[in-house]
Each structure stands twice: as structure tokens, then as C-alpha cells.
Amino acid sequence: MPKASCAGLGLRREMLNEFCQSVPDAIDFFEVAPENWMTLGGKYGKQFSQLTEQHRFFCHGLSLSVGGPAPVDVEFVKAVKHFLEQHNIECYSEHLSYCSGEGHLYDLMPIPFTSEAVSHVAERVKLIQDILERPLILENVSFYSAPGAEMSEQAFVCEVLNEADCGLLLDVNNIYVNATNHGYDAHQFLAAMPTDRIRYLHVAGHYQQAPDLIIDTHGANINAPVWQLLAECYAIHGVFPTLLERDFNLPTTAQLLTEIDQISLLQQQALVKQRIA
């Protein structure tokens, strides 16, 4: 893992030409979805290899379907393993959700918050980790309904992490989104996350459709409450590598760097407070 006080950016194909010329010093690492890059050849493949040879990368998957009902796609996991090794990518995270049944659902579906689901997910994670020969990192996801829930999201996340013995990608924006949509305390949820499981963080913007409904879009600037929650996260859990997610409505690099600089500023402020304490 990189040093704790570092800020990263999700890499999009639109950025390749610019970043193959020069990567701003403020960007400490990149993150990609392996599914979007594993089969690329030609110009894109060469540009991607150039960047992975020169810069630090993480992978954040989209289609592993950790909580899905169908058997784990072993061949896909092996392909991801090859991709990680080929490009010397340090870690692989996925969503604590599922995206397949009889076929691919093209969306991240909520896993029922039940003890049975905890065991189901944990078994699958252990198999995936055995194939990868490295830890899997799971992300707390945004969700809009909780079918068949027998426990809280907070309890479910913590139990999965414990039973599967895996890491946590803590998405601060998703905490804020879910707290607003489902009426729970974001600060209490944040504080309850297991510090020793956290490997890195995500932060992103969203769309406020109504006072009690937020859509997790990754298509807007980060708002003040999410920045405040990120600062609180550093204060409670310590400073971790933090990635800015921006998936569409892409602004200029200069505008993205404004938010990356804000991440770095909050990290430095947290470190100073820790030293004083």
C-alpha cells in the first residue's frame, strides 16, 4: 500500500492522452475497473501499460458479483489475477453487492442484510482470495431498498468483514447517501466501522433529487457535508489513501485537482492534529 497521506483519481480513457504526456504531482495513484481495461490492445493498451509502469495503481471491480446466487466465475477471477500481476497492481477491491443472476444485471443490487447472506458472501470471498492469492477488499455500497433485512447495514458490513477476514474500502460518500436515504446517523455508522479493516477510502459527488433522496452518481462536485464526513473519518480512523471518483460530467483536470488538493489538505490537517495530540 502507498503512504497513508495520498490522494488518487479514477482513470478514464478520456484522460489517457493527457496523462501519458504528464501526470500532475498531486495525483499519487490511479484506480481502474479491471473489466474496462483487461482486454484492451492497440493504442489504449500501450498507453495503459505506460502509465502502470510509471505510476501506482489500484483496481476496483464492477462485475465479480460477490453476493450473487450463481457460482463464482473462477475463470474471470483468474483473469483478474493475471491482470493485477501483469501491471503490478497492489490491491483489488469490489462492491459488497451482486450484479448477476441468470445473466448480468448491469447494476449493483443490494444483498439482503441477513445472517445467511453473511455466510454466503464470506464463503465466496474466501474462495476468491484463495484464487487471487491476495486479500480482497470490499466496499460499503449505496443502496435504495433493503429487501428481507434482518439486521442493519452497519451490522451486516461488520459481520461480513469479520467472517470473510477481508479488508474494507470505506466509501464516505456512500455513508452520507445511505444515511440520508434511510434515515440513520452517518457519524455513528462511520465511527462503527472497524479501523483495522480499512485499506483505503472513496469520496465522490452525488445528485440530491429530494431532501430525503440522494442518487449516488459520481457525476458532480463533492459537497460540504461529505467533505466534513471525510475530515471526521480521518479524525476517527486515521489517514488512509483516498480516491476521488468522477465517472461522468468530467471537468477539466485543473478542476479535478482542486478536489484532489482538498483531500490532501484534509489529510495534512488530520496528521498535524494527531501529532499535537
Three-class SS of the chain: CCCCCCEEEECCHHHHHHHHHCCCCCCCEEEECHHHCCCCCHHHHHHHHHHHHHCEEEEECCCCCCCCCCCCCHHHHHHHHHHHHHCCCCCEEEECCEEECCCEEEEEECCCCCHHHHHHHHHHHHHHHHHHCCCCEEECCCCCCCCCCCCCHHHHHHHHHHHHCCEEEEEHHHHHHHHHHHCCCHHHHHHHCCHHHEEEEEEECCEEEECCEEECCCCCCCCHHHHHHHHHHHHHHCCCCEEEECCCCCCCHHHHHHHHHHHHHHHHHHHHHHHHC
What is the domain extent for residue 145? 7-276
Residue 76 lies in a domain: yes
Residue 95 lies in a domain: yes
Q: What is the mean pLDDT of each run of 10 residues along the chain (277 residues)?
A: 82 96 97 94 95 97 89 95 96 85 56 94 97 97 83 97 98 96 96 98 87 80 97 98 94 97 98 89
pLDDT at residue 267, as a whole number: 98
Residue 11 lies in a domain: yes
Residue 111 lies in a domain: yes
pLDDT at residue 106, as a whole number: 46
Residue 1 lies in a domain: no
Residue 2 lies in a domain: no
Residue 207 lies in a domain: yes
Residue 221 lies in a domain: yes
Specify the number of domains making up the chain: 1
Q: What is the CATH number of the domain that holds 83?
A: 3.20.20.150
